[in-house]
Amino acid sequence: MKKMTCIEDLRRAAHRKVPRAFFGYAEAGSYSEETLRANRADMERVRLRQRVLIDVSERDTSTKILNEKASLPIALAPIGIGGLQYGNGEILACRAAQLAGIPYTLATMSICSIEDVAGAVEKPFWFQLYVMKDRGFARSLIERAAAAKCSALVLTVDLQILGQRHADIKNGLSVPPSLKIRNLIDMATTPAWVYRVLTGKRWTFGNLAGHVKDEEGVTALAEWIAHQFDPTLNWKDVEWIRSIWPGKLIIKGILDVEDAKLASKTGVEGIVVSNHGGRQLDGGASSISLLPKIADAVGSEIEILFDGGIRSGQDLMRALALGAKSCMIGRAYIYGLGAGGQAGVARAIEIIRKELDVTMALTGVRTVDEIDRRALVG
């Protein structure tokens, strides 16, 4: 893994090792992918300010996220079917995060279930919730997360309806899934991937087991899920979840100042400024372009996390400078997972740690708390 010097190296390795359909799933944005591209393009436009002749011999990348110590201002974002990038992927990513001293978020739509992960790791992790039409199911997920001692609930609110990702349709991953001969040929070129996935704990949605009869198979399950995303979801549901989840609650998918103000009045501990990595509303703004306004409006009332387009420690620095207290990374670690399982995720985190450390030194900053807009040009 040492030869992997940047996230792009991990991306290329994952491209070789993960079958096309599943690598394409991780890469894709919705529709024309304008917002996906804007996340990166706008990130790169934020210019860091070079400072010199400041004693930066003692530097510290550690911080607190929601009042818990973290060795870096990042958490691993929830990634649906992450376990199909590498067998048992969620367990491996969670272990890498915990060894590195940062939070890991397990997705509702994970392959390994809440209980699979809880039974395989040492410390509590975060759980991401999609509130489905079947509120009894949502409640049962919350109860399972509490029983597994999850330390935060991340409520994703930007998927009341699924944004179309063309790549998934072309690759046979839409609903109903229709894997074609081409998928099988692709898989034949990645035998190590096939072996790991087939010998892993599971290869379908672990948290949803039992929701359709086993004999009805993956197609029925995928259809059940697609009909369960709930367009009626509203602020009353947030109140309801707040009333039944006693732990830390984070709303993920806020991209508007008005929504951020409403969120700050609900009693949640944090929000994630996010456009779901460009996978939902296409044609919308990049998350980095909206971060400063949201941070100015509610940053003193509620903890602000950020995601979208972070591929380096420099990007992390940009987001912190624009008002995020910490960030989530999605594809940056998923590439690592596809490239090398736990070691690949660990490598992704280490790459970002090193880059942040060097960037702090070259911008004259010694601690994460010191990072603010003075670290930027203009």
Under the binding rule (CB under 6 A), the answer on residue 19 touching ligand FMN is no
- In whole angstroms, the minimum distance from the beta carbon of 76 to ligand FMN comes to 9
Residue nearest to ligand FMN (CB): 330
Site string for ligand FMN, 281-320 (x = CB under 6 A): --------------------------xxxx----------
276 is catalytic: yes
**Angle at the Cα of 100 from the Cα atoms of 97 and 102, rounded to 5 degrees:** 55
109 is a contact residue toward ligand FMN (CB under 6 A): yes
Q: Give the number of other CB atoms < 10 A from CB of residue 201.
A: 17
Q: Could you say which residues in the range 30-49 bind ligand FMN, by CB under 6 A? A: 39
Nearer to ligand FMN, 53 or 332 (CB): 332
Contacts 24+ apart (CB under 8 A), 209-216: 209/113, 211/137
Residue 353 in contact with ligand FMN, rule: CB under 6 A = no
Taking the least distance from each CB to ligand FMN, the nearer of 54 and 197 is 197
Binding part of the chain for ligand FMN, among 44-52, 64-72, 270-278, 368-376 by CB under 6 A, reads: 270-278
Query: Whole-number minimum distance, CB 109 to ligand FMN, in Å?
Result: 5
- Shorter beta-carbon distance to ligand FMN: residue 61 or 312: 312
Could you identify the residue written with the tokens 């818990």? Answer: 68
Please name the amino acid found at residue 325: K
Burial (CB count within 10 angstroms: exposed 0-12, middle 13-18, buried 19+), residue 134 = middle
Using the CB atoms, write b or e for 88-97: b if 16+ within 10 Å.
Answer: bbbbbbbbbb
Binding pattern for the stretch 141-180 against ligand FMN, x by CB under 6 A and - elsewhere:
---------------x------------------------
Interface characters, 67-106, with ligand FMN (x: CB under 6 A): ----------xxxx--------------------------
Q: Assign 345 to helix, strand or coil.
A: helix
Is 42 or 186 the residue whose CB approaches ligand FMN more closely?
A: 42
For 201, the token pair is: 């704990």
Indicate the residue among 88 and 274 with the shorter CB distance to ligand FMN: 274
Using alpha carbons only, how large is the chain's radius of gyration in Å?
Answer: 20
Which x/- pattern over 320-339 shows residues binding ligand FMN (rule: CB under 6 A)?
Answer: --------xxxxx-------
Task: Specify the DSSP class assigned to residue 180.
Answer: -
Residue 273's DSSP bridge partners are 254, 306
* CA nearest to 85, candidates 111, 119, 114, 103: 111
Q: How many residues bind ligand FMN (CB under 6 A)?
A: 25
- Helix H, strand E, coil C: the string for 318-334 is HHHHCCCCEEEECHHHH
- Distance between CA 30 and CA 174 in Å, rounded? 13
Contact 334, 79 (CB under 8 A): yes
CA distances from 336 to 245, 250, 348 (A): 32, 25, 6
**Candidate residues 93, 107, 263, 295; the one interacting with ligand FMN per rule CB under 6 A:** 107
Least Å distance between CB 173 and ligand FMN?
Answer: 11
Cα 317 to chain centroid distance, Å, stands at 18
Kindly state the smallest distance separating residue 205's Cβ from ligand FMN, in Å. Answer: 10
| Residue positions annotated with a catalytic role | 276
- Chain residues in the site for ligand FMN (CB under 6 A): 25-26, 39, 77-80, 107, 109, 128, 156, 252, 274, 276-277, 279, 307-310, 328-332
